[in-house]
Structures are given as structure tokens and as C-alpha cells.
């Protein structure tokens, strides 16, 4: 098992807005940055939390795919919601991307910059 830290980069997910990587591989683990709901091709952001959640998870999936990792390989997610009152709509969209056993998850209310949801994950490389 390699112990080298390797960055992942793809044009299929939004580009970093600062000094960070879209993803990092270390050993058999893949860590993603926190992704927002920007469409990587257009920069557009959906209006509602459910559609933003779907776009965020498509962005995450694009980074995972660079190493042959799927959403079923995700072990942990950290979710930031601008408004915890949006939890039910977020959760319904989130459920579309995962199967049981679901990853462990932490969901917190956060002050986000003009978006409703941000998610990062830790996954195991098969």
C-alpha cells in the first residue's frame, strides 16, 4: 500500500478556488475537497437545495471516478447546509446517490457563500 500523497484533478468537477486539491489519494483512501453545486461546464448553480445536492454529488462522483471509485465506496460524508430547515429535501436527493450500508455522515449548519449545500467525502479505493 503506497503512502505517497497524490492529488486528483478533473475538468469534470469545479476547479479549486484556492490552494487546495479536488481530491487526495493516500494509501487506499481518497479524500475530496468540499464541493459546492456549481456545474463545472457552465458555472451555473441550481436554485433549490435538492438540485444543488444532486449537482454537488455529481461533482464528488467525478473526482472519485478519476481513481475508479464509485459512490458505494464512500465511507464518510460531511455535509454543510446553509439552512438546517432544508434537511428533508436535501436528504431525499442525497439518498438517490447511495445504497445500504450508507456511509456515515455528519450534517451541520454552516454559513455558506451563496450556495445551500457543500459536501466532502472519504472513500476507499477498491
| Counted domains in the chain | 1
- Rounded distance, CA 61 to CA 68, Å? 10
Task: Tell me what pLDDT residue 125 has.
Answer: 97
Strand (E) or helix (H) holding 122: strand 117-124
Task: Tell me what pLDDT residue 28 has.
Answer: 96
Residue 97 belongs to a domain with what CATH number?
3.30.1330.40
What residues of the chain score a pLDDT lower than 50? none
Give the model confidence (pLDDT) of 13-44 as tens digits.
999 999 999 999 999 999 999 999 999 999 99
Task: Tell me what pLDDT residue 2 has.
Answer: 53
Task: Tell me what pLDDT residue 59 has.
Answer: 98
Q: Are 124 and 29 in contact (CB under 8 A)?
A: yes
Q: What is the extent of the structural domain holding 67?
A: 5-124
Q: What's the predicted TM-score (pTM) here?
A: 0.95
Where are the strands (E) in 3-53, listed by range? 5-8, 23-26, 29-32
Strand (E) or helix (H) holding 17: none
Amino acid at each position: 500500500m503506497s503512502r505517497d500523497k497524490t492529488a486528483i484533478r478533473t475538468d469534470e468537477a469545479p476547479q479549486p478556488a484556492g490552494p487546495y486539491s479536488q481530491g487526495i489519494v493516500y494509501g487506499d483512501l481518497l479524500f475530496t475537497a468540499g464541493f459546492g453545486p456549481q456545474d463545472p461546464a457552465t458555472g451555473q448553480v441550481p436554485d433549490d437545495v435538492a438540485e444543488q445536492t444532486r449537482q454537488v454529488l455529481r461533482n464528488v462522483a467525478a473526482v472519485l471516478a478519476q481513481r475508479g471509485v464509485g459512490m458505494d465506496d464512500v465511507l464518510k460524508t460531511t455535509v454543510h447546509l446553509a439552512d438546517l430547515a432544508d434537511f428533508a429535501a436535501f436528504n431525499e436527493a442525497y439518498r438517490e446517490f447511495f445504497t445500504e450500508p450508507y456511509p456515515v455522515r455528519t450534517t451541520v449548519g454552516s454559513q455558506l457563500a451563496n450556495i445551500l449545500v457543500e459536501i466532502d467525502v472519504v472513500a476507499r479505493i477498491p
